[in-house]
Every structure is written in C-alpha cells, then in structure tokens.
Amino acid sequence: MKQSQLFTKTLKDIQKDEVSQNAILLTKAGFIHKEMAGVYTFLPLGLRVLNKIKNIIREEMNKVGSVELQMTALQDKKLYEATDRWSDEVVDNWFKSKLKNGTEVGLGFTHEEPIANIAAKYVSSYKDLPFSAYQIQTKFRNESRAKAGIMRGREFSMKDLYSFSKNKEEHEKFYDQMKEVYMKVFTRLGIADQTYITLSSGQPFSKYSYEFQTVSEAGEDTIMIDEKKKIAINKEDYSDELVKITGVDPKKLVEKKAIEVGDIYSLGEKYSKAANLKYTDKNGKESLVYMGSYGMSPSRLMGTVVEVNNDKNGIIWPQEIAPFKVHLINLKKDLKDSEQVYYSLQKEGIEVLFDDREISAGVKFADSDLIGIPFRLVVSDKTGEDIELKERNSKKVELISLKSVLKKII
C-alpha cells in the first residue's frame, strides 16, 4: 500500500488524558483513534494488526475442531435472570438499554447464557457431544475506570470459546488441551517467553482455574512466578493449597506485575441447568452437559504486544502481526526505482507499506520507527543499484541487492 493512500498520519500531539504506553504509541503512530475512554476506533494500520491477531487465534481454534459462530451484542434479559446475572448488584458492568416497547436489553459482556440456550436447541443425545464453538466478537463492559488504552476497553474484541462435554472427565481433557492451544497463540504473537500459566482461585466446581499472564509493568495483576517451572500463582489468590497443586517452592517465587491475556474456566453445570441443556446417554439416562469457557481478547493482546515491544522511538511489531512486513522508503526525486522494488516485493506476496510521500528523509525515518514495521528498505541516490536494509529491532544497516533482500525476508 502506498502511504499517500493512507489518510492517517503520525501525530505529535495527542490527547493529554492518555496515560498508558500502548494508547500513546498506537495513537501517535496512527493505529487507533479514541472515541471516548476505553472506546477506540481501529484506523487502517490498526485494523490490519487486529485482523492478523484474530486470524492467528481463529486458526488455532479451528485446528482443535472448534466451529465459529457469531452471537449478538443485544442480550435478552430473561436468559440472564435465569442465571442470576441480570441484576446490576450481581454484575456491575452491564450496559443496558431499552426497546421501543420498554423491554430492557443488555449489551453482552460475555455469552455463556445465549450459547447454552443455542446448544439446548441442538443437543439431545450423547452422540452430539463433545463439541466446542467460538466467536470473535465485540464485548461491552461498563468499566468505571478505563485508563489502560486498548488493554481494558468499554467496547473491545473478544474471542470466547465454549466447550460442551458429557462429564467432568471429558471436559478436563479438553480443558488441558486448551492450555496448550493458548500457549501456541502466545508463541505466534511473540509474547510466549514472558507469558506464564497462572493459577487463580477456582469456581465452586474446581479448585483452581488457569489464567495466562504476560509480565509487564503495565499489568494490573501481580503474579508470583516460579521461573524454573514456568508457572505462577496470582498473588490475590495465593494459598498453601495452590502452592501444593503447582508444586512450586514458596521461597523461590518472584513477584512481578503482569497483564492477564487469557483465562479458561470450568463452568460445570450452572449454565446448562439454567438453559435445560441435557443429553441422553446410551442407556436413556438424562444428564446435564458440562461446560467450559475460554476467553482471550485480540485488542487486549494487541495492546500487550505494544507494551512489551517498544523503544523510545516507537513500536516494534513481531513479524506475524505487523501491519506490513516491509516499510519501503523512497528518498529519490523520482519514484521510478522505488516503484520497481515495490512491485517486485508485491509480486512475491510480501506486504509493503511504500512511503511515496514528498517529505523529508528525517520525517520518513522517524515515522518508520514509530510505526514499527519489521524490515525497513531505503532507496536513495546513495544506494545505487542496491537497497539499504535495516531491521526495526536491530541497529545494523546493510546495503544489499534486491535479490538478497528477497532471500532474506520471504
């Protein structure tokens, strides 16, 4: 894409009320625009990153045989009354509205109730189980404070997967599998090294549940890490029992701030009971379906990646989710030579942002560092037949042929 086609620009001055690093960098670099606290528009560059994160998640969910659907934002009060989650005293972050006829509706902050209700329509026999389904959809949470940029939004994207099993054993098999699936996603997003499976207190039907916590000063949680075992305990829920379960040495735990980038829950039969979600086994016996839920927010992950990958000049995107792989910068008067490189790269299927603007080299370099695309190529009068290659996360500048460039970055 030619940069002249992009209507956004980098910004020097941004709203003073932004305090989080991810929001400041993403706003300056032209990835997001703040509509109100915790509510962000994803500008063209930002949407490209968000979609790449969503696709990585989608691929990993599909690999375990989960099927994608898309539920709605508007929620039926009745479904939540049945599980005692409608009242604002029980769930304090509802956004609510009204239909013309006065009927109250909510904006979905999660979707256990509607998915259990849908499943009840289709599940009747043990042959229908187990299965899992997920969506990547917009959630609404009426947070009283929203100061963490795109890491804690009032409106944000969420992948929520729900599993349906015949019993606890079958559920636990899938639950353990999802632990690995989540770590695979974090590996592809380039944050696995600093992300810990973290035990926190469970629900009534399980002794503990798993969170995934990425170490960062921007985090709202504190976790106690056993570096050797690569496991942690959420400080809030620290107990002798969790120490026993994890087998960590309490004396060796290191306290660090961390961002919760995912959580997976055993739900037991709470929601299937409310939705009358039952199945009949081989002998004709009826039982409630055992459910699990598995959350992960693409927009929060995007914010997390920015928090852990940046320097004083801007963002440093990991290759798999960068808005483009190559930032091609033209410094010649004539665009011809750069255009040739541009088309050669595109022919190889490489995503290129081509800075064809008529502005100073200094501004172009500063913009490029701020935007944070992995490979920077410069075509200038000084480069002759060759091209200057620099990686965003390195200081080394090479002068090499187009052919070598292609070899290096394909």
- Residues near a second copy (CB under 8 A): 1, 5-9, 11, 33, 35-36, 39-44, 46-47, 50, 65, 67-76, 95-101, 105, 107, 114, 118-119, 121-123, 128, 131, 133, 138, 140, 142-144, 154-155, 164
Tell me the closest approach of the beta carbon of residue 100 to a second copy, in angstroms. 4
Q: Hey, CA dihedral for 325, 155, 133, 92, is it positive or negative?
A: positive
Give whichever of 120 and 245 is closer to a second copy, judged by the CB atom: 120
Residue of 208, 110, 205, 211 whose CA lies nearest to 162: 110
Tell me the closest approach of the beta carbon of residue 139 to a second copy, in angstroms. 11
Give whichever of 58 and 179 is closer to a second copy, judged by the CB atom: 58
Report CA-CA distances (Å) from 188 to 53, 56, 300, 301.
9, 7, 15, 12
Give whichever of 3 and 246 is closer to a second copy, judged by the CB atom: 3
Query: Is the separation of the CB atoms in 330 and 356 below 8 Å?
Result: yes
Residue of 399, 223, 190 whose CA lies nearest to 315: 190
Tell me the closest approach of the beta carbon of residue 62 to a second copy, in angstroms. 10
Tell me the closest approach of the beta carbon of residue 190 to a second copy, in angstroms. 23
Give whichever of 154 and 390 is closer to a second copy, judged by the CB atom: 154
**CA 227 to CA 196: how far, in whole Å?**
9
- 98 DSSP β-pair partners: 104
Tell me the closest approach of the beta carbon of residue 409 to a second copy, in angstroms. 24
Residue of 345, 347, 364, 328 whose CA lies nearest to 409: 345
Neighbours of 80 (CB within 10 A): 23
Supply the DSSP string of 270-294, one letter for each residue.
Answer: HHHHHHT-EEE-TTS-EEEPEEEEE
Give whichever of 24 and 105 is closer to a second copy, judged by the CB atom: 105
Query: Is the separation of the CB atoms in 150 and 144 below 8 Å?
Result: no
Tell me the closest approach of the beta carbon of residue 137 to a second copy, in angstroms. 9
Give whichever of 107 and 316 is closer to a second copy, judged by the CB atom: 107
Tell me the closest approach of the beta carbon of residue 295 to a second copy, in angstroms. 18
Tell me the closest approach of the beta carbon of residue 101 to a second copy, in angstroms. 8
**CA 337 to CA 387: how far, in whole Å?**
10
Give whichever of 64 and 331 is closer to a second copy, judged by the CB atom: 64
Which helix H or strand E contains 181, and what residues bound it? helix 168-188
Give whichever of 43 and 326 is closer to a second copy, judged by the CB atom: 43
Give whichever of 74 and 397 is closer to a second copy, judged by the CB atom: 74
Residue of 185, 109, 196 whose CA lies nearest to 153: 109
Burial 336-348 (b: 16+ CB within 10 A, else e): ebbbebbeebeee
Tell me the closest approach of the beta carbon of residue 312 to a second copy, in angstroms. 24
Give whichever of 95 and 205 is closer to a second copy, judged by the CB atom: 95
- 257 DSSP β-pair partners: 222
The one-letter amino acid at 151: M
Tell me the closest approach of the beta carbon of residue 26 to a second copy, in angstroms. 13
The one-letter amino acid at 190: G
CA atoms within 13 A on the CB side of 270: 17
